[in-house]
Amino acid sequence: MYIGCNIGINYFHLQGEKTRIENGFINGGNFKYNYRINSRLGLGFLIEYEISKIFSERISTSIMINPELTAYEKFGTLGGYDPWLIDWLNFSIGLKYRFTD
């Protein structure tokens, strides 16, 4: 079993279209957006469990869980309609092959 932490730099590319419905105060319409957010800090940890020697001496299986929090804006920034913190949860199951002894 492996337990550890990770720090990452994340890059976001946001692209899409929003439709605003007209009411008594605003005009309706379709609005397209396309922008990038670079160099956002992410903090997380990982837990990995490996079962070795499943099929042969070189092949093993692993299960990994990796939650992470990424600051969409700078850590501690509040206000506005955009989220300032995004959370991720990665779960993976895989086979590993050891090339060297």
Quick check: is 22 in a domain? no
For the chain, what is the largest distance between any 2 Cα atoms, rounded to a whole number of angstroms? 72
Give the pLDDT score at 75.
59
**Mean pLDDT along residues 27-50:** 85
Is there a domain that residue 24 lies in? no
Q: Looking at the domain assignment, is residue 26 inside a domain? A: no
Q: Is the pLDDT of residue 93 over 90?
A: yes
Is 85 inside any structural domain?
A: yes
Average pLDDT over the chain, rounded to whole? Answer: 82
Contact at 8 Å (CB) between 92 and 63? Answer: yes
What confidence score (pLDDT) does residue 80 get?
A: 59
The residues with which 20 forms a beta bridge, in sequence order, are: 29
Domain membership of residue 6 as a residue range: 2-12+38-97
Q: How many other β-carbons are positioned within 10 Å of the β-carbon of residue 63?
A: 14
The model's pTM is 0.57
Q: What is the pLDDT of residue 79?
A: 58
CB 10 within 8 A of CB 38: no
**Does residue 32 fall inside a structural domain?**
no
The secondary structure of residue 14, as a DSSP letter, is E
How many structural domains compose the chain?
A: 1
Structure tokens at 83: 């989220």
